[in-house]
Amino acid sequence: MAWDHGSLGVRDFAEEPASLGDDDSIAALLDAAEDIVNAAGPDILMELEAEKNKKGRRRPRISKKARAKKRKKGKKR
């Protein structure tokens, strides 16, 4: 696919450095970053699951009508 630039497009692009693609340190850096992300995945999923379970223990909300009924019931004692 070819790119067409309009009249406002940049026409003078910077040249790529010669070392890009030939240097093994870039691949090593990306591999290390991938290892970090992969190691964090299970911990993140565990935290999300714990948070989800924690939210499920809340009491259900009571409607205004039910609250008013409960208040009236409490005053009759």
CA separation for the pair 51, 58 (Å, rounded)? 12
pTM passes above 0.85: no
- Write down the domain spans for the chain: 26-58
CA separation for the pair 59, 69 (Å, rounded)? 18
Quick: pLDDT tens for 11-47.
677 777 776 666 788 889 999 999 999 999 999 999 9
> What local confidence, expressed as pLDDT, does residue 46 receive?
92
Quick: pLDDT tens for 1-20.
677 766 666 667 777 777 66
* Contact yes or no for 5/11 (Cβ under 8 A): yes
Selected residue with higher pLDDT from 58 and 30 = 30
